[in-house]
Amino acid sequence: MTVTRFRNFPFIIRLVSLLSVFTGFLYLPYFLNLGLPISLGPEITQATMATEKWALFAVFGGFGLFAGSFLYNLSQSQRYKRFILGITLFSMLLLILAQLPPLFLWFYVGSADFSSTSLLGLFLHLILLVLAFWGGIATMLAFGKTNVTS
């Protein structure tokens, strides 16, 4: 089975976190001029504000997951490792839930006006969703391998 064969916890978490940061930076208009345009028509300011909040969540969440994967490797205490794994699992669940509105929006926008931008946005979020599920499963497997005896 593919999921259990590639269950290297820190590698998968780092991959998900870097993809989350990359996807978040695409939505920040002041970071790149190549930002993905997303709006819902007349309420462009509300959509822009919501998009920037989502982008900041993705960027800071990705940096947090990346730092957590290194903290997991540095620790010798099993209790601390389980604490890091619990926070990581909760963060992965939030990341999975955060992919649903953009996926719906890109599917909705992409079905109304098909372009390469909507296809790129849809695939980025779909890949991030699948990798986040994979990271959540790897986190649960790593959680089961750590035992607290002291």
Do the Cβ atoms of 83 and 109 come closer than 8 Å?
Answer: no
Looking at the domain assignment, is residue 124 inside a domain? Answer: yes
135-141-143-148 Cα dihedral, nearest 10 degrees: -160
Do the Cβ atoms of 65 and 20 come closer than 8 Å?
Answer: yes
Residue 137, number of CB atoms within 10 A of its CB = 15
pLDDT tens figures, 80-105? 888 888 888 888 888 888 888 888 87
1, 69, 85, 146 from 4: Cα distances, Å: 6, 19, 17, 16
Q: How many domains does the chain have?
A: 1
- The domain of 125 spans 2-145
pLDDT tens figures, 101-120? 888 877 776 667 766 666 77
Looking at the domain assignment, is residue 129 inside a domain? Answer: yes
**With DSSP H G I counted as helix, E B as strand and the rest as coil, what are the percentages for the chain, rounded to 5?**
80, 0, 20
Looking at the domain assignment, is residue 77 inside a domain? Answer: yes
C-alpha 85/C-alpha 79 separation (Å) is 10
Please choose, from the candidates 46, 61, 43, the residue with its C-alpha nearest in 3D space to the C-alpha of residue 97: 61
Looking at the domain assignment, is residue 18 inside a domain? Answer: yes
pLDDT tens figures, 52-70? 888 888 888 899 889 888 8
C-alpha 59/C-alpha 10 separation (Å) is 18
Looking at the domain assignment, is residue 123 inside a domain? Answer: yes
Share the mean pLDDT of the chain: 78
DSSP state of 41: S
Looking at the domain assignment, is residue 150 inside a domain? Answer: no
